[in-house]
Amino acid sequence: MKFWLIILIIIIGLLLSNCTNSYVKNKKMITSSNDLQKFVNVYCNSKEKQNEKVIRSCGVAWSKDLLISESKAIMDAKLKIADITQHTMVRNEKITHKENSKGVSKTYEMNADNQLIEATIAGYKIIHKKILKEKNGWRTLVMIEYKLT
């Protein structure tokens, strides 16, 4: 009995994973913001994995011009990789204590900035690209892979 239950669970899991893959493969047009969100989640989250040897990043962009949409998506993915590999965090904190007749008032202020200066992402490879028609323009999603040395 347990054997058949395990087999049934495996079959259902395989069918569900195949549905999401066919959803991405067969999608040609984005019709709403919910549709876009679902598609990006399925497309990016299923492929965007990294380990100590490889970083994969998903880039998404829209433009009325197809080539601009592709260039923007690639730049978006490269920026995410550069942020992982070559970013600098700058943080400033300010804590103030003021005493008055009613007691002590405390304030806290923190400013953080993620800086990326002259990053080089050479040797990346586009492993997958999907172009969709959206309203009067093009939505491009790219998955790039960057090998760590």
Helix axes 33-47, 2-26, angle to 10 degrees: 120
Burial state string for 109-130 with b = 16 or more CB within 10 A and e = fewer than 16: eeeeeeeeeeeebeebeeeeeb
56-66 pLDDT, tens digit per residue, is 899 999 999 99
Q: List, for the chain, all residue ranges whose pLDDT scores fall below the cut of 70.
A: 1, 5, 7-8, 10-28, 46-48
Positive or negative, the CA dihedral 126, 68, 45, 88 is positive
**SS3 letters for 16-51?**
HHHHHHHHHHHCCEECCHHHHHHHHHHHHHHHCCEC
**Euclidean distance between CA atoms 19 and 24, whole angstroms:** 9
Q: In terms of pTM, does the model score above 0.85? A: no
Q: Is the CB of residue 66 less than 8 Å from the CB of residue 138?
A: yes
Positive or negative, the CA dihedral 7, 47, 33, 27 is negative
Q: Which residues pair with 132 in a beta bridge?
A: 139
> Does an H or E element contain 113, and which?
strand 103-115
Query: What local confidence, expressed as pLDDT, does residue 63 receive?
Result: 93
Q: Which residues pair with 90 in a beta bridge?
A: 113
Query: What local confidence, expressed as pLDDT, does residue 69 receive?
Result: 93
Which two structure tokens, joined as six digits, stand for 137?
């323009």
Q: Which amino acid is at 29?
A: M
